[in-house]
Amino acid sequence: MHYTKLASMAVVVLVILSNVVLIVNAMKSYSSQGLTIKGTPISKWLKGFPKIYGGTLKVALPGEPNVFNWWTASSLWDLIVLSPIYSRLVRIINGTLAFELAESIEWSPDYKVLTIKIVKGVKFHDGKPLTAHDVAFTIDILSKKSWTYYHGYFLNVEKVEVVDDYTLKVCFKAPDAGFIYNALTVMNIMPKHIWEPIFKSMGDKVAKYSPKIPDDLVGSGPFKIAEYVPGQYVKYVANKDYWLGRPCIDELIYVFVSEANVAILAVQKGEVDAYVGWITPEVVPELLSTPGVAVHVFVSDTFYHWGLNNLKWPFNITEFRRALAYCVNREAIVKELLMGYGSVGNPGVVPPFGVHAQWCNRELLNKYKFNLTKAAEILDKLGFKDIDGDGWREASDGRDFSFEIYAPSYDVIRVRVAELISEWLSKIPGGGLKAIPKAVEWKTVWPLIKGAKVDTWLLGSGTGNDISWLLRRFHSRPEGTGNWVRYSNPIVDELTEKLVTTFDPEERKRIAYRIQEIIAEDVPLITLYYRKFPMPYRIDKFDGWFLAEDEPSVNFITLLRVHLKQYATAPTTQPTVMAIREAITTIIVIAAIIAIIAILLIRKRTWYK
């Protein structure tokens, strides 16, 4: 009795003590200085190349921008064309956070207030200084106007306060650990003096406003927009007063070339210096054999996966999904279908490169190696057996079983992947699984995927710069946006929520690792590959290309660094040569047509007399 009393008292004391330690620890982290965000200054990427000024860089784009209003711009081409005009606070460069206009970023101890100090002396193209007021205005609009493209990243912002001309405070309604990586890395700083009057006079109609070019397109970036000819090109001139020093090239031109074959010829002929568009891997050897042409291969973080409808039988059985994972030869898809232009999918979904590398759990990469025997074992255990001996496995209740794999008809690769998967499934020892590949017009099937009405599909999904994107894809929220497979696991729900509210980088990494382990274990979807894209560019005229693993050869840093080669001849004589040639050609061709018509008319008289 005596001892038990003593023991229980000891336990109570221990519990209290441990709690005190916890509280003290918590107090310590609470009262300590808030979290200071670390990053490299952007100037680090701009060192060590000669400053040779001059030249016009011509880049071919396969698509044309539709919207020049950055608040609503959403297509890739819109964003590419607007990017050289504007500056940002921070940027992701080569997978790391780089500080551009931000001098320091600090979270308050309670993670409710973000204090941002910005670089002094930056000017907009029209000479007006860029201050904290402009940054605050941009954040304010993005958090209040729900029609802006990036509004989703600014949902948690409560208000923005300007402390002085170069300091501002962003206050949050709820903790948002992904804010800097997600929101600030994509946020172009818009000039308040241009846009505030427009917002005042138009209100929400700004959503349908097309800015006057170049008057409304004032930014603080390295290039000023000079001219836009619809369907033809956008021309920029270097901003000589750019705060990091003027870009080396005098002019930048994005030309719209809609046909990839023509764009490739244009690069080969030297009519353009680079092409930012998709080319088939087959032409790479020919491009590389052209003197002066190089090819940069970069990887995109869109994860292409085999989506399994977690609500539908038998895809709601974890074991069954695991069996399917063993039936997919991801290496073969990358090697044979993508011709090596891809990276093998991580069963934990997070891409093992770029900004994602810091959160990727690499131990999972080798999980689910292609193993049909193992799949057969699992299926046997689940009762999926070939009972009637027709070579196909029946369902556990003895009925015939088959399902569909939907692939978008516009993507040849995914159509082939669907066929390959169905082939592998048919080869499972002891009877195959019948999967029917279906190539379909995507917009027709999309509502069915959204409504969880189909069995399986092949989809490429976007991620996000901050690891908290896992919440969108794997949290079992009732509205289910983004989590199209309808995966539901309370532990993952809790962990993904924690990703948003946890700020300590090490702790976040641990949580991310754990989520990936669970996903790899549960297989809500089967990550197949991340695509790599070869893009040609010329190296005989310009030098200083910034080649990052996850970006095209033409990117923000390239635009600042690219410069004429020292021994390249100045292109002063070329225009006159061109003018003479085109004049002669035109005259010859017009003369030829007139001659043909004349001959026809004259001969008509003589033929039948």
Partner 1 sequence: MKKFLLRRLYTSIITFFIVITFVFFVIRFTGDPLAELEDDPRITPEVLDKIRALFGLDKPIHIQYIDYLVNMFRGELGYSLHYKRPVIDVICSKLPYTLMLLIPSITLSNYIAYKLGVECGWRRRSTFDLIVSSIAFTIRSIPYFWLAILFLYIFSVQLRITPLFGAISPGKGGFSLSLDWIMDYLWHYILPFTVLTLRASLALIPYVRNALIEVLEEDYIVTAHAKGIPLKTVKYSHVARNAILPVITIMGLRYAFLIDGAILTETVFSYPGTGKVVFEAIINRDYWLLQGAVVILTLSVIIVNLIVDLIYALLDPRIRYR
Footprint of partner 1 on residues 201-220 (CB under 8 A)? 204, 207-210
Q: CB within 8 A of 172, min separation 6: which ones? A: 111, 112, 113, 114, 156, 157, 158, 179
Type of residue at 197: P
Closest residue by Cα to residue 221 from 599, 557, 463: 557
- For partner 1, which is the closer residue by CB, 393 or 475? 475
Dig out the tokens for 22 from the structure: 């916890």
Stretch binding partner 1 (CB under 8 A), from 2-10, 223-231, 280-288, 560-568: 223-231
Site string for partner 1, 147-186 (x = CB under 8 A): xxxxxxx-x------------------------------x
With CB under 8 A as the contact rule, the residue among 219, 464, 524, 552 that binds partner 1 is 464
For residue 206, the number of C-alpha atoms closer than 13 Å in the C-beta half-sphere is 24
Stretch binding partner 1 (CB under 8 A), from 130-138, 238-246, 479-487, 524-532: 479-487
* 429 belongs to the binding site for partner 1 (CB under 8 A): no
Q: How far apart are CB 235 and partner 1 at their closest, in Å?
A: 6
Please state, in angstroms and rounded to a whole number, the distance separating the CA atoms of residues 131 and 118.
Answer: 8
With CB under 8 A as the contact rule, the residue among 444, 501, 569, 574 that binds partner 1 is 444
- For partner 1, which is the closer residue by CB, 329 or 516? 516
Q: CB within 8 A of 55, min separation 6: which ones? A: 248, 249, 250, 251, 541, 542, 563, 564, 568, 571
Backbone φ and ψ of 309, nearest 5°: -75, 100
- For partner 1, which is the closer residue by CB, 481 or 573? 481
Q: How far apart are CB 605 and partner 1 at their closest, in Å?
A: 9
Q: How far apart are CB 503 and partner 1 at their closest, in Å?
A: 21
* 66 belongs to the binding site for partner 1 (CB under 8 A): yes
- For partner 1, which is the closer residue by CB, 41 or 480? 480
Footprint of partner 1 on residues 246-265 (CB under 8 A)? 251, 253, 255-259, 261-263, 265
- For partner 1, which is the closer residue by CB, 113 or 186? 186
Type of residue at 72: T
Site string for partner 1, 388-407 (x = CB under 8 A): --------------------
Please state, in angstroms and rounded to a whole number, the distance separating the CA atoms of residues 132 and 388.
Answer: 74
Footprint of partner 1 on residues 19-58 (CB under 8 A)? 56, 58
Dig out the tokens for 590 from the structure: 């017009």
With CB under 8 A as the contact rule, the residue among 285, 389, 447, 490 that binds partner 1 is 447
Footprint of partner 1 on residues 482-501 (CB under 8 A)? 482, 484
Q: CB within 8 A of 507, min separation 6: which ones? A: none
Q: How far apart are CB 570 and partner 1 at their closest, in Å?
A: 16
* 230 belongs to the binding site for partner 1 (CB under 8 A): yes
- For partner 1, which is the closer residue by CB, 43 or 74? 74
* 280 belongs to the binding site for partner 1 (CB under 8 A): no
Measuring CA to CA, how many Å separate 101 from each of 123, 142, 372? 11, 18, 54
* 3 belongs to the binding site for partner 1 (CB under 8 A): no
Footprint of partner 1 on residues 563-582 (CB under 8 A)? 578-579, 581-582
Per DSSP, what are the bridge partners of residue 61?
A: 256
With CB under 8 A as the contact rule, the residue among 282, 397, 479, 506 that binds partner 1 is 479
Stretch binding partner 1 (CB under 8 A), from 10-18, 95-103, 200-208, 490-498: 200-208
Q: How far apart are CB 253 and partner 1 at their closest, in Å?
A: 5
With CB under 8 A as the contact rule, the residue among 1, 24, 570, 600 that binds partner 1 is 600
Q: CB within 8 A of 585, min separation 6: which ones? A: none
Dig out the tokens for 68 from the structure: 């020049």
- For residues 168 and 136, the answer to whether their CB atoms sit within 8 Å is yes
- For partner 1, which is the closer residue by CB, 292 or 398? 292
Q: How far apart are CB 292 and partner 1 at their closest, in Å?
A: 16
Q: CB within 8 A of 390, min separation 6: which ones? A: none
Q: CB within 8 A of 19, min separation 6: which ones? A: none
Closest residue by Cα to residue 181 from 302, 98, 265: 98
Please state, in angstroms and rounded to a whole number, the distance separating the CA atoms of residues 55 and 564.
Answer: 6
Q: How far apart are CB 473 and partner 1 at their closest, in Å?
A: 8
Using CB under 8 A as the binding criterion, the count of chain residues that bind partner 1 stands at 75
Q: How far apart are CB 61 and partner 1 at their closest, in Å?
A: 10
Closest residue by Cα to residue 63 from 191, 254, 286, 211: 254
- For partner 1, which is the closer residue by CB, 206 or 323? 206
Q: How far apart are CB 312 and partner 1 at their closest, in Å?
A: 20
With CB under 8 A as the contact rule, the residue among 18, 280, 569, 586 that binds partner 1 is 586
Read out DSSP for 460-499? EE---SSTTHHHHHH---SS-TT-TT----HHHHHHHHHH
- For partner 1, which is the closer residue by CB, 35 or 439? 439
* 95 belongs to the binding site for partner 1 (CB under 8 A): no
Q: How far apart are CB 609 and partner 1 at their closest, in Å?
A: 8
With CB under 8 A as the contact rule, the residue among 157, 177, 418, 459 that binds partner 1 is 459
- For partner 1, which is the closer residue by CB, 371 or 586? 586
Q: How far apart are CB 66 and partner 1 at their closest, in Å?
A: 4
With CB under 8 A as the contact rule, the residue among 224, 235, 475, 561 that binds partner 1 is 235
Please state, in angstroms and rounded to a whole number, the distance separating the CA atoms of residues 33 and 343.
Answer: 41
- Beta strands at 342-344 and 525-538: parallel, antiparallel or unpaired: antiparallel
Measuring CA to CA, how many Å separate 11 from each of 14, 227, 339, 392, 499? 5, 77, 64, 61, 34
Backbone φ and ψ of 113, nearest 5°: -130, 135
Q: How far apart are CB 201 and partner 1 at their closest, in Å?
A: 17
- For residues 84 and 559, the answer to whether their CB atoms sit within 8 Å is yes
Measuring CA to CA, how many Å separate 492 from each of 100, 474, 511? 35, 7, 10
- For residues 303 and 414, the answer to whether their CB atoms sit within 8 Å is no
Stretch binding partner 1 (CB under 8 A), from 122-130, 170-178, 460-468, 510-518: 460-468
- For partner 1, which is the closer residue by CB, 67 or 160? 67
Q: How far apart are CB 251 and partner 1 at their closest, in Å?
A: 7
